[in-house]
Amino acid sequence: MATEIGHRVADLSDSIESQGKKTFAERLRSSSWLVSGILAEGSSCPSKPEFAEFVGRARGATLEIANFIIFLGERELITEADEAALVNMLKRESKMLDNFRQSLERAGQPQPDSEEAHAIA
């Protein structure tokens, strides 16, 4: 989903550039690959808690992109339909990333030894 969002963001940046808004287009284009790039980098981490940190950063980037899309919509540089569709995708991506981060954090926590757990009980 991150790469699909990236392609849509890149397409929007092309549209904005054609309106003569080069600075906004460049800013948007530079963020188009950010989420998938952070996830790709994090996937090389040796531990799940370390990867969870990258997933959290990817979620932050997702929210930053959503904020920028809303800003561009308010400036009428993108259509309401494009804004709504992309913001909805970004919301879903954000929820997915948050759930994934939480599962990585849980998986990275040490599990009590079964004998210790029985002794405590």
Question: What does the pLDDT look like over 7-46, one tens digit per residue?
Answer: 999 999 999 999 999 999 999 998 889 999 999 999 999 9
Q: Are 102 and 55 in contact (CB under 8 A)?
A: no
Rounded to 5°, angle at Cα 73 from 68 and 75 = 95
Q: Measure CA of the first residue to CA of the last residue in the chain; give whole Å.
A: 44
Question: What does the pLDDT look like over 42-62, one tens digit per residue?
Answer: 999 999 999 999 999 999 999
pLDDT at 111: 62
Average pLDDT over residues 60-83: 95
pLDDT at 6: 92
pLDDT at 51: 94
Whether this prediction's pTM lies above 0.85 is answered by no
Q: Are 68 and 5 in contact (CB under 8 A)?
A: no
Which of 65, 57, 6 has the alpha carbon at shortest distance from 33?
Answer: 6
- The architecture in CATH of the region 2-107 reads Up-down Bundle (1.20)
Which uninterrupted H or E stretch holds 49?
A: helix 48-74
